[in-house]
Amino acid sequence: MDPQAQTRQEAPPDAPPPAADGAPSGTPPEESSGTPPGGAPGVMSLPPAARIAVAVALGVVTVLTGVHLAMVFLHVAPDNTLSKQHGSTVSDYVNPEFEQNWKLFAPNPLQQNIAVHARAEVVRPDGGRERTGWVDLTAMDIGNIRGNPFPSHTDQNELRRAWDFFTGSHDAENRSNGLRGDLSEEYLRRIVMSRFGPELNGGEIRRVQVRSATTPVAPPPWSGESADAGTTYRVLPWWPVDRTDIPEDQ
């Protein structure tokens, strides 16, 4: 019997045929390349409609990213023609979520602690009126922040930005300088009512009053500087409130 014939007969029935030209046996031709059979890799392998959707999504993301970077750049850049012409639009976009505040690193960093207080005038069921004591709203926020590894954006910035908004749109006599002044009053008033609620000390709130308490930060002992440690107050007029100033969930 032919030895080669005997070898062919003893091979397992499902054994792959010998590979030609020295190629590894048992490797399908199309598995040796990185391209999927019958199409191109990646996005090009998607149906036409899906490719169009991906292209549109990438275009929208690119445009939005460009707009965001341009707005932030105009906000932090020195005054120029574009920032002067569109300053209000840029400010409305950036504040308060994307605020860029560099005061910590300025030549004259912040040297004051500013706290916002509020009190209310309530009407009791018997018709009597009462004025509550001053409530330190800033201290409430600080209490929620301390010891909290993930303090909320509201506790950190809402009241602070509302007060900055008010002082930036009013003069030293608390006179509004336009529509933004009226909006800042409404915003600050609603924040106070969200903290107090519709009733306080057993009576319904009819008016609220806000003030700031500014205390200089004492200089370090080694500086040799002296500073007045007294607290100064800026008291705003009484504001009437109604149900429209109370959040819907209260």
CA dist., res. 78 & res. 175, Å (int): 29
Are residues 139 and 57 both part of a single domain? no
Cβ neighbors of 233 (< 8 A, separation 6 or more) are 211, 212, 213, 214
Average pLDDT over residues 143-170: 92
Average pLDDT over residues 42-59: 86
Average pLDDT over residues 54-67: 92
Are residues 83 and 151 both part of a single domain? no
pTM (predicted TM-score): 0.59
CA dist., res. 224 & res. 234, Å (int): 29
Domains: count for the chain? 2
- Domain membership flag for residue 130: yes
Are residues 80 and 167 both part of a single domain? no
- Domain membership flag for residue 149: yes
Are residues 60 and 174 both part of a single domain? no
Are residues 140 and 187 both part of a single domain? yes
- Domain membership flag for residue 5: no
pLDDT in tens, 2-32: 555 454 555 555 555 555 554 455 555 444 4
pLDDT of residue 31: 47
pLDDT of residue 101: 64
- Domain membership flag for residue 32: no
- Domain membership flag for residue 233: yes
Are residues 234 and 136 both part of a single domain? yes
Are residues 120 and 219 both part of a single domain? yes
> Of the candidates 68, 94, 120, which is a domain's last residue?
94
CA dist., res. 143 & res. 71, Å (int): 34
CA angle 74, 75, 81 (to 5 degrees): 45
Are residues 148 and 204 both part of a single domain? yes
- Domain membership flag for residue 9: no
Q: Which range has the worst mean pLDDT, 22-31, 82-91, 176-185, 222-231?
A: 22-31
- For residue 121, pLDDT beyond 50: yes
CA dist., res. 156 & res. 139, Å (int): 11
pLDDT of residue 127: 87
Are residues 111 and 137 both part of a single domain? yes
Range of the domain at 154: 105-245
- For residue 68, pLDDT beyond 70: yes
- Residue that has been written with the tokens 């600080």 in this structure: 142
pLDDT of residue 32: 46
Q: Tell me the pLDDT of the chain averaged across its residues.
A: 81
Are residues 89 and 187 both part of a single domain? no
pLDDT in tens, 165-219: 999 999 999 999 888 899 999 999 999 999 998 888 889 999 999 999 999 888 7
pLDDT of residue 37: 53
- For residue 84, pLDDT beyond 60: yes
Are residues 115 and 236 both part of a single domain? yes
Are residues 111 and 209 both part of a single domain? yes
| Cβ–Cβ < 8 Å for 134, 123 | no
